[in-house]
């Protein structure tokens, strides 16, 4: 089959996956299980975000760290919304995320859930399109690129699963794409946007590596200011004790943390989770995760140090972010869909190697390779992240040149 024919086949398959993912979301409201897998209810993870922020508004921050009673309250408060009681669903985020959630907590749950998902989608669209069209004329090419990124974010199966769970992958994509997209024009502001990744610190591990490799000192200052501003703002608004309690939970959560790890973390798609599901002892799984993080950092440093075209550098960073993070949800594979867009963008601009048609499709389908005890599906997300890196480092078509889009 010709390359154009393969593209057509994979585009059709990608469209089917998009329709299936959004159908899962639509049917989840009726709880009928017509399409597998059966979903408890839409917005289950957002129930955690919402309830935690409401606790803060009531001045009951201590309730956040009592995992068993917190989950019991979720099952009580959302009994009419859920189809079955939830397993342990504790609050595990640092205080800056609470600060971002407070405005949404003043709304009724359904309105808050919808507003949060719309706001994070708008942020992701602004971050991606602003970065992708940086350096392009305001003509057809710029508009076409902007529409392409809007379509990618709207149709990606990972976006549908993010909305279904009520998770924050869109917010993560917004900060990473938007922050790096701002660096050429406004490095301090771009750094401050990247510093906001303090809300989900395991996804911020590669940011300083990239900025150091590029010698982006102003951006590093901005990132420090952004992170310090969020930390200080959360302490000022929520009080210092909430930071003390969070650090105690994160460093010495005891039996409650172990319960969450079994019920939640091991259902993710990180290297650690894959190794644990395949039978590796905890020490081996932790060692493999540490080795993956070190390898990811080396790849990011090399990509940002050498004259790799900007879209390819950012694709490497997004893939490495997933490899390095000790906890990754299936919806977080939205970063792989964005990496697919960057690879295709680089190829179209003449600065990247020809992309095998199957690779963008597999990156698109990544959220469906969920947790299991099968070797292929358990390791899918890490292997696809490696695939992005290999593709980015393949020989270029011609000499690397200035490419429109996410030029850092």
Task: Give the tokens for residue 174.
Answer: 């917004």
Residue 397 has pLDDT above 80, yes or no: no
For residue 144, the model assigns a pLDDT of: 80
pLDDT band per the 50, 70, 90 thresholds, residue 268: confident
Residue 406 has pLDDT above 50, yes or no: no
Find the DSSP H helices in 62-198: 67-77, 95-105, 109-132, 140-155, 157-165, 169-182, 187-195
First to last CA, the chain: 38
Q: Which residue has the higher pLDDT, 385 or 2?
A: 385
pLDDT band per the 50, 70, 90 thresholds, residue 42: very high
Q: Alpha carbon 291 to chain centroid distance?
A: 21
Dihedral, CA atoms, 138, 144, 150, 152, nearest 10 degrees? -140
Share of the chain above pLDDT 90, in %: 62
Task: Give the tokens for residue 245.
Answer: 């309690």
Task: Please give the C-alpha separations between residue 403 and each of 75, 312, 320, 338, in angstroms, as whole numbers.
Answer: 51, 10, 22, 17
Provide the 10 A C-beta neighbour count for residue 38: 14
DSSP-derived secondary structure letter, 350:
T
- The string of DSSP letters for 242-300 reads HHHHHHHHHH--HHHHHHHHHHTGGGS-SHHHHHHHTT--HHHHHHHHHHHHHHHHHHH
Query: What are the tens digits of pLDDT across the range 291-346?
Result: 999 999 999 999 999 888 888 999 999 999 999 999 999 999 999 999 999 998 88
Query: What are the tens digits of pLDDT across the range 343-355?
Result: 988 888 766 678 8
- The string of DSSP letters for 180-241 reads HHHTTT-HHHHHHHHHGGGGSGGGSTTHHHHHHHHT-HHHHHHHHHHHHHHHHHHHHHH-HH
Query: What are the tens digits of pLDDT across the range 76-131?
Result: 999 999 988 988 888 989 999 999 999 999 999 999 999 999 999 999 999 998 76
Matching residue, tokens 């199957």: 358
pLDDT band per the 50, 70, 90 thresholds, residue 257: low
Cα atoms found within 13 Å of the Cα of residue 393, Cβ hemisphere only: 16
Query: What are the tens digits of pLDDT across the range 147-171?
Result: 899 999 999 999 999 999 999 999 9
- Provide the mean pLDDT of the chain: 87
For residue 138, the model assigns a pLDDT of: 47
pTM (2 d.p.)? 0.92
For residue 256, the model assigns a pLDDT of: 67
For residue 139, the model assigns a pLDDT of: 42
Q: Which residue has the higher pLDDT, 375 or 395?
A: 395
């Amino acid at each position: 089959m010709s390359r154009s024919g393969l593209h057509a086949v994979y585009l059709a398959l990608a469209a089917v996956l998009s329709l299936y993912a959004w159908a899962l979301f639509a049917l989840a409201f009726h709880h009928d299980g017509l399409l597998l897998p059966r979903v408890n209810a839409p917005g289950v993870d957002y129930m955690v975000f919402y309830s935690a922020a409401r606790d803060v508004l009531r001045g009951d921050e201590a309730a956040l760290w009592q995992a068993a009673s917190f989950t019991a309250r979720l099952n009580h408060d959302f009994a009419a919304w859920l189809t079955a009681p939830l397993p342990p669903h504790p609050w595990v985020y640092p205080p800056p995320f609470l600060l971002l959630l407070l405005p949404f907590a003043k709304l009724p749950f359904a309105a808050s859930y919808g507003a949060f998902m719309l706001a994070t989608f708008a942020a992701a669209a602004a971050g991606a399109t602003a970065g992708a069209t940086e350096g392009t004329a305001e003509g057809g090419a710029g508009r076409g690129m902007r529409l392409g990124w809007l379509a990618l974010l709207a149709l990606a199966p990972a976006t549908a699963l993010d909305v279904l769970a009520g998770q924050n992958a869109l917010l993560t994509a917004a900060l990473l794409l938007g922050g790096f997209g701002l660096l050429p024009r406004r490095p301090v502001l771009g750094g401050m946007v990247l510093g906001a990744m303090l809300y989900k610190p395991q996804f911020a591990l590669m940011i300083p590596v990239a900025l150091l490799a590029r010698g982006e000192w102003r951006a590093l200052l901005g990132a420090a200011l952004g992170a310090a501003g969020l930390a200080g703002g959360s302490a000022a608004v929520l009080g210092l004790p909430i930071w003390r309690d969070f650090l105690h939970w994160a460093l010495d959560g005891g039996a409650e943390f172990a319960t969450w790890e079994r019920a939640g973390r091991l259902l993710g798609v990180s290297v650690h989770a894959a190794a644990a599901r395949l039978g590796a002892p905890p020490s081996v799984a932790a060692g493999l995760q540490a080795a993956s993080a070190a390898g990811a950092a080396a790849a990011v440093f090399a990509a940002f140090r050498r004259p790799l075209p900007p879209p390819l550098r950012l694709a490497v960073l997004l893939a490495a972010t997933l490899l390095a993070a000790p906890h990754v949800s299936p919806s977080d594979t939205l970063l792989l869909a964005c990496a697919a867009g960057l690879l295709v963008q680089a190829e179209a601009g003449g600065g990247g190697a020809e992309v095998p048609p199957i690779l963008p499709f597999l990156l698109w389908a990544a959220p469906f390779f969920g947790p299991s005890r099968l070797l292929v599906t358990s390791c899918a997300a890490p292997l696809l992240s490696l695939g992005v890196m290999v593709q980015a480092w393949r020989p270029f078509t011609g000499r690397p040149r200035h490419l429109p889009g996410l030029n850092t």
